[in-house]
Structure 1
């Protein structure tokens, strides 16, 4: 139906500007721009969109019901995205605090 086609087009082309900017940034070796763009996209999709849905839903309905599998999926995605952002930041911090960009292997 038309709703399905419209939804697919919105999902496919909703982030086309972000994709084009990321491609040009990668061509010009601007990795930090791509990383921060992805970080902002992840945070806005997980926190802002979900939070607004819950807020508006709470305004119109006194009690909301959610399917268990949906809540588990969303919380798993949020955990995965947080881990995928924390681990590289932790490695970067450890490398900067160490003072050199090489790993040492020692035998004792």
Structure 2
């Protein structure tokens, strides 16, 4: 009888203790404390009507700030492509993508070559 009561008490404690510590800040549950999140911080200054207007405007023109088009297919997005054409007698870019990004360097250092020994061990 004593064994059954002890076993029941341990089982009950095993069920009750984990939920009791689930929301504590002691770091016991994987040390996840909800970084920077406070109660009530998800309140938006926009009304539901404002959000609905933004959604309708996005559905009419589904482009992000960088020119990517969001489509409702299995592709998901269509990235902007470079386009070229003749302008003023010269071959030039005719798209709206920024062309001021630096070109990638093709020069590899010895430390870079050590990362790919199967390519540079010959």
TM-score, normalised to structure 1's length? 0.23
Larger Rg: 2
- Point out which structure has higher relative CO (alpha carbons under 8 A, 6+ apart): 1
More strand by share: 2
More helix by share: 1
